[in-house]
Amino acid sequence: MQYVIDVRDVIPRDRHPMIFGQLDALVPGDVVRLVNDHDPVPLRYQLEATRPKEFTWNPIETGPEQWVIDIVGNARTIDARPMLATGQDPFELIMSTVGQLGDSEVLVIYAPFEPVPLEGVLGDMGFTYTATEIAPDDWRTTFTRG
């Protein structure tokens, strides 16, 4: 699926939250076509720093009047927080999703704690991970094939 976000008329301070909201909803292969009035290289650097390998950056048009970038999703995301809050175990869902990952895809898990046991299990399967506490008792862990 392709989504178009034209931020040329959006207040600059509102642009990145709007873009990240749409990017975080992508599944592998989905595309956000970003239309901007300047080179969005700061956004690219932010994505590379905070969400490495989760997106592919494909310039379509590079100025001088407008910049058009296709940002392709490479991440499968599981928000385990609702399941854990109701006492369910998300392990089977996570492992099923791992089995569906393409070679260039990453897995993102949201949980109310750092999923240390999962880090070990997926580490034994050749994955590396980055765990970030995004708020108190709120973690985002990204698993990438080693």
146 pLDDT higher than 90: no
Nearest CA-CA partner of 5 in 25, 18, 47, 88: 18
Cβ(39)–Cβ(67) under 8 Å? yes
Q: Give the model's pLDDT for residue 14.
A: 94
Domain end residue (candidates: 43, 73, 103)? 73
Domain boundaries, position 60: 2-73
Q: Give the model's pLDDT for residue 22.
A: 92
Tell me the pLDDT of the chain averaged across its residues: 95
Task: Please state whether the predicted TM-score (pTM) of the whole model is above 0.75.
Answer: yes
Q: Note whether 62 and 93 are same-domain residues.
A: no
Q: Give the model's pLDDT for residue 69.
A: 98
| pLDDT: which is higher, 11 or 24 | 11
Cβ(30)–Cβ(2) under 8 Å? yes
Domain end residue (candidates: 33, 49, 73)? 73
Q: What stretches of the chain adopt beta strand conformation (E)? A: 2-6, 31-36, 55-62, 67-73, 75-79, 106-111, 127-135, 138-145
Domain end residue (candidates: 73, 104, 122)? 73
Q: Note whether 88 and 139 are same-domain residues.
A: yes
pLDDT tens string 29-70: 999 999 999 999 999 999 999 898 999 999 999 999 999 999
Report the CATH number at residue 40.
Answer: 3.30.110.40
112 pLDDT higher than 90: yes
Q: Give the model's pLDDT for residue 140.
A: 95
Residue 82 burial (10 A CB sphere; 0-12, 13-18, 19+): exposed
